[in-house]
Chains A and B, each alone.
Chain A
Amino acid sequence: MTITIEYYLILSAFMFIVGVAGVLTRRNAIIVFMCIELMLNSANLTLVAFSSYLGSSVGQLFVFFVMTVAAAEAAVGLAIIIAIFRNKLTVNIDDINILKW
Chain B
Amino acid sequence: MAGLAVLALADGSIFKGTAIGAEGSSTGEVVFNTSMTGYQEILTDPSYAQQIVTFTYPHIGNTGTNEEDNESDKVWASGLVIRDLPLLASSWRNQQTLDDFLKQRKVVAIAELDTRRLTRVLRDKGPLNGCLLSGAALEEGGKEKAIELAQQFPGLSGMDLAKIVSVDRTYSWEESVWDIREGYLPPAEPRFNVVAYDFGVKRNILRMLAARGCKITVVPAETPAADVLAMKPDGIFLSNGPGDPEPCDYAIMAIKEFLDQSIPLFGICLGCQLLALACGANTIKMQLGHHGANHPVQNLRDGTVLITSQNHGFAVDGDTLPNKLEVTHKSLFDGSLQGIERTDKPAFGFQGHPEASPGPHDVAPLFDHFIKIMESHSNSASITEQVAASS
- Bind each other: no
